[in-house]
Protein backbone atom coordinates (compact mmCIF):
# COMPACT_ATOMS: atom_id res chain seq x y z
CA UNK A 1 0.00 0.00 0.00
CA UNK A 2 1.28 3.46 -0.90
CA UNK A 3 2.19 5.86 1.87
CA UNK A 4 -0.07 8.85 2.46
CA UNK A 5 1.04 12.32 1.47
CA UNK A 6 0.38 15.41 3.51
CA UNK A 7 0.78 18.05 0.79
CA UNK A 8 0.16 17.14 -2.86
CA UNK A 9 2.54 19.84 -4.11
CA UNK A 10 5.24 19.59 -1.43
CA UNK A 11 7.76 17.66 -3.57
CA UNK A 12 10.56 19.89 -4.79
CA UNK A 13 11.92 17.90 -7.70
CA UNK A 14 8.73 16.52 -9.16
CA UNK A 15 7.99 16.80 -12.86
CA UNK A 16 4.98 16.79 -15.11
CA UNK A 17 4.83 15.12 -18.53
CA UNK A 18 2.49 16.97 -20.89
CA UNK A 19 1.68 15.16 -24.12
CA UNK A 20 -0.67 16.03 -26.95
CA UNK A 21 -3.46 13.52 -27.50
CA UNK A 22 -4.62 13.33 -31.08
CA UNK A 23 -8.08 12.41 -32.34
CA UNK A 24 -6.62 9.38 -34.14
CA UNK A 25 -5.09 7.53 -31.16
CA UNK A 26 -4.67 3.81 -31.60
CA UNK A 27 -5.76 0.72 -29.71
CA UNK A 28 -9.12 -0.74 -28.86
CA UNK A 29 -11.57 2.15 -28.45
CA UNK A 30 -8.60 4.52 -28.88
CA UNK A 31 -7.55 3.97 -25.26
CA UNK A 32 -3.81 4.02 -26.00
CA UNK A 33 -1.85 7.20 -25.60
CA UNK A 34 1.36 7.29 -27.62
CA UNK A 35 4.27 9.13 -26.04
CA UNK A 36 7.36 10.02 -28.08
CA UNK A 37 10.15 7.66 -27.04
CA UNK A 38 12.73 10.17 -25.83
CA UNK A 39 10.26 11.92 -23.51
CA UNK A 40 8.73 8.64 -22.30
CA UNK A 41 12.12 7.22 -21.34
CA UNK A 42 13.18 10.48 -19.70
CA UNK A 43 10.00 10.59 -17.62
CA UNK A 44 9.13 6.92 -16.95
CA UNK A 45 12.59 5.36 -17.27
CA UNK A 46 13.99 2.77 -19.72
CA UNK A 47 11.49 0.95 -21.91
CA UNK A 48 12.91 -2.55 -22.00
CA UNK A 49 9.69 -4.01 -20.56
CA UNK A 50 6.10 -3.08 -19.74
CA UNK A 51 5.87 -1.09 -16.51
CA UNK A 52 2.73 -1.07 -14.36
CA UNK A 53 1.75 2.31 -12.96
CA UNK A 54 -1.28 3.80 -11.20
CA UNK A 55 -2.90 7.12 -11.80
CA UNK A 56 -5.15 9.36 -9.75
CA UNK A 57 -7.58 11.39 -11.79
CA UNK A 58 -7.67 14.99 -10.64
CA UNK A 59 -11.14 15.70 -9.29
CA UNK A 60 -12.01 12.02 -9.53
CA UNK A 61 -11.75 11.14 -5.85
CA UNK A 62 -9.13 9.13 -4.01
CA UNK A 63 -9.22 6.12 -6.35
CA UNK A 64 -6.12 4.90 -8.12
CA UNK A 65 -6.48 3.31 -11.55
CA UNK A 66 -4.02 0.68 -12.76
CA UNK A 67 -2.58 0.95 -16.24
CA UNK A 68 0.84 0.44 -17.79
CA UNK A 69 3.58 2.07 -19.79
CA UNK A 70 4.51 -0.21 -22.69
CA UNK A 71 7.94 -1.34 -23.71
CA UNK A 72 9.47 0.77 -26.46
CA UNK A 73 8.08 0.54 -29.97
CA UNK A 74 11.19 1.18 -32.00
CA UNK A 75 9.49 1.42 -35.40
CA UNK A 76 7.14 4.22 -34.30
CA UNK A 77 9.58 5.75 -31.81
CA UNK A 78 7.01 5.61 -28.99
CA UNK A 79 5.95 4.04 -25.75
CA UNK A 80 2.27 3.85 -24.89
CA UNK A 81 -0.03 4.14 -21.95
CA UNK A 82 -2.26 1.05 -22.06
CA UNK A 83 -5.26 -0.06 -20.05
CA UNK A 84 -6.57 3.36 -19.11
CA UNK A 85 -9.95 3.23 -20.83
CA UNK A 86 -10.78 6.82 -19.92
CA UNK A 87 -8.23 7.99 -22.50
CA UNK A 88 -10.53 6.77 -25.30
CA UNK A 89 -13.16 9.29 -24.19
CA UNK A 90 -10.96 12.38 -24.07
CA UNK A 91 -10.73 13.68 -27.62
CA UNK A 92 -7.92 16.01 -28.70
CA UNK A 93 -6.26 17.67 -25.70
CA UNK A 94 -3.06 17.84 -23.70
CA UNK A 95 -2.76 15.05 -21.14
CA UNK A 96 -0.75 15.62 -17.97
CA UNK A 97 1.02 13.02 -15.82
CA UNK A 98 2.44 14.64 -12.71
CA UNK A 99 4.81 12.78 -10.42
CA UNK A 100 3.71 12.32 -6.83
CA UNK A 101 5.62 11.44 -3.69
CA UNK A 102 4.37 7.85 -4.11
CA UNK A 103 6.37 5.46 -6.29
CA UNK A 104 4.73 4.75 -9.69
CA UNK A 105 1.63 6.81 -8.88
CA UNK A 106 0.87 9.85 -11.05
CA UNK A 107 -1.74 12.57 -10.88
CA UNK A 108 -3.55 12.68 -14.22
CA UNK A 109 -5.70 15.31 -15.90
CA UNK A 110 -6.32 16.78 -19.33
CA UNK A 111 -6.40 20.32 -20.68
CA UNK A 112 -8.71 21.09 -23.60
CA UNK A 113 -7.56 24.69 -24.07
CA UNK A 114 -4.66 23.61 -26.23
CA UNK A 115 -3.75 27.17 -27.28
CA UNK A 116 -3.12 28.21 -23.65
CA UNK A 117 -1.07 25.08 -22.90
CA UNK A 118 1.00 25.47 -26.08
CA UNK A 119 1.64 29.16 -25.37
CA UNK A 120 2.49 28.59 -21.69
CA UNK A 121 5.39 26.27 -22.47
CA UNK A 122 6.47 27.92 -25.76
CA UNK A 123 10.04 26.90 -26.53
CA UNK A 124 10.04 23.90 -24.18
CA UNK A 125 8.07 21.70 -26.59
CA UNK A 126 9.61 18.80 -28.46
CA UNK A 127 7.87 17.49 -31.55
CA UNK A 128 7.66 13.82 -32.49
CA UNK A 129 8.27 12.77 -36.04
CA UNK A 130 5.34 13.04 -38.43
CA UNK A 131 3.33 9.98 -39.45
CA UNK A 132 0.67 9.00 -41.95
CA UNK A 133 -1.80 10.77 -39.64
CA UNK A 134 -0.12 14.17 -39.81
CA UNK A 135 2.43 16.27 -37.93
CA UNK A 136 4.21 14.85 -34.92
CA UNK A 137 2.62 15.38 -31.54
CA UNK A 138 3.96 17.87 -29.01
CA UNK A 139 5.44 16.78 -25.69
CA UNK A 140 7.30 18.44 -22.84
CA UNK A 141 8.44 17.69 -19.31
CA UNK A 142 8.19 20.62 -16.91
CA UNK A 143 8.72 21.24 -13.21
CA UNK A 144 5.71 20.47 -11.01
CA UNK A 145 3.29 21.57 -9.85
CA UNK A 146 1.43 22.49 -13.02
CA UNK A 147 -1.73 24.56 -12.38
CA UNK A 148 -5.03 22.68 -12.67
CA UNK A 149 -6.72 23.91 -14.72
CA UNK A 150 -4.13 25.83 -16.68
CA UNK A 151 -5.87 29.10 -17.60
CA UNK A 152 -3.07 31.64 -18.05
CA UNK A 153 0.00 31.74 -20.28
CA UNK A 154 2.10 33.45 -17.64
CA UNK A 155 3.24 31.75 -14.45
- pLDDT for 27: 54
- pLDDT for 116: 94
pLDDT tens-digit readout, 23-71: 766 555 567 888 999 999 999 999 889 999 999 987 767 789 999 999 9
Q: Is residue 4 very low, low, confident or very high in pLDDT (cuts 50, 70, 90)?
A: very low
pLDDT tens-digit readout, 54-64: 999 877 677 89
User: Model's pTM, two decimal places?
Assistant: 0.86
Kindly report the average pLDDT of the chain as a whole number. Answer: 85
Q: Contact, 78 vs 36, CB < 8 A?
A: yes
Domain-wise residue ranges, the chain: 15-143
Q: Contact, 121 vs 146, CB < 8 A?
A: no
* Phi, psi for residue 8 in degrees, rounded to 5: -55, -30
pLDDT exceeds 50 at position 124: yes
Q: Contact, 54 vs 104, CB < 8 A?
A: yes
Q: Which among 135, 140, 143 is positioned nearest to 22, based on CA atoms?
A: 135
- pLDDT for 29: 59
Q: Which CATH class is domain 15-143?
A: mainly beta
Q: Is residue 119 very low, low, confident or very high in pLDDT (cuts 50, 70, 90)?
A: very high
Q: Contact, 97 vs 130, CB < 8 A?
A: no
Amino acid sequence: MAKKRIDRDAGRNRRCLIVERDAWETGFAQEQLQIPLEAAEEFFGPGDARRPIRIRITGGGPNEYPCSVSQRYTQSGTRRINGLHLVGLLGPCFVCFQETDDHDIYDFWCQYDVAIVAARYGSQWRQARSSQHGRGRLVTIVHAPVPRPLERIEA
